[in-house]
Amino acid sequence: MSERFHTIQAAGSRLSLDLLNGHIRSFDVTLDGRTIAPFHTAPWVEEQAVIDDPEIPLNLKYLSCDFFCAPFAASDIEEAPGHGWPPNTAWTVLGDESLAGGGVTARFELSRPVMGARLVKEVTLRDGHPFAYQRHVFEGGHGAVSVASHAMTRFAEPGRVSFSPKAFGELPSMVQEGDPERGRSLFATGRRFEDLTRLPLADGSLVDLHGYPVAQDHEDFVMLVEAPDSPLGWAAAARAGQRDIAVSLKNPADYPVTFLWFSNGGRYYAPWNNRHRGVLGIEEGRAYSAYGHKASIEPNPLSEAGIPTALELKSDGTASVSHAIGGLPLPEGASEVFAVDVVGDGLRVTLNDGQSRDYPFDAGFLGIA
């Protein structure tokens, strides 16, 4: 890797961060004798025509694996590109710290402030852990900002997606692609539903969110709200074609919602060009749907129900959120994750083959131990 990428590794895992825009370019786990790379990088990240196009923001030019949004969606309070400066401008390496138990924590600083705050990214790999632990710390600042961690996976073949219990799902009032010359969206708008097997489409039919794909040639978005008193928020995408599982883990107190972004051939313009297919964004958020910064910090139906939709910054202190992503093998005979639980010093993953498997996991990092 060139100096543009900062790479860290621990026993069984390796991660590279793109310093141009703070995206994780790659995250690999070696487990059971094989290497698992469960997260998605866009097919155009090395295309010169895309790189040279001044109309395409850095966030999209180098769309990779996972990145941090502050704010989430539209930056309509402080001038910044969509999803804010964290995925759209440079980061500086502050240094790497070796961990006593084996592993490393790398720290990075965003080159621009967010709402007056200094933003520090901490990424930790631990020996033997099939997870990357991420913390984003705002030092100082004013007001509040919506935030999200924007992981993505891609299905080469149909797969299954499972979640921790959700209170309800909600579809935004606007579509992702409303101009048929530019793309296509199929989900209904402005609808709330409680049964994740019955997401409403615009044509009146219903689809099951546990299966991927739910449709073809579409670009869509849905918000899932964590069930009250949930101890651990999780999502697991079992990819049958790749025989692996992309895992997202959170403390619901940090990220009370999960956004699902379906990008399956539904955008026709550059750089998408109808070729971004099979992609599912699993985005852990503290935001009011896809309505942007302003809507998230103002009173809204979620915040009025006691569900935080923004992170309050502290002019004389710090505010932070934490998240973990992981890659696990999908054993032969299994096709879906049934449950994910913290058990002792590990994470227990129960599959539909009737077996449970335990993996080393730092639940304390998420504040749930």
**Per-residue pLDDT, 274:** 95
Q: Using an 8 Å Cβ cutoff, are 10 and 104 in contact?
A: yes
Domain that holds residue 100: 5-366
- What pTM was estimated for this model as a whole? 0.97
Model confidence band, residue 41 (pLDDT cutoffs 50, 70, 90): very high
Give pLDDT, residue 1: 42
Residues 6+ apart with CB under 8 A from 29: 12, 13, 35, 36, 37, 38, 130, 326, 327, 328
Pairing of strands 318-329, 131-140: antiparallel
CA dist., res. 114 & res. 151, Å (int): 21
Per residue in 301-356, pLDDT (tens digit) is 999 999 999 999 999 999 999 999 999 999 999 999 999 999 988 999 999 999 99
* Tens-place pLDDT, residues 144-193: 999 999 999 999 999 999 999 999 999 999 999 999 999 999 999 999 99
Number of structural domains (the chain) is 1
| Spatial contact of 26 and 6, defined as CB atoms under 8 Å apart | no
Mean pLDDT, residues 233-262: 97
> Any idea what the CATH number is for the domain that residue 211 is in?
2.70.98.10
pLDDT band at 32, cuts 50/70/90?
Answer: confident
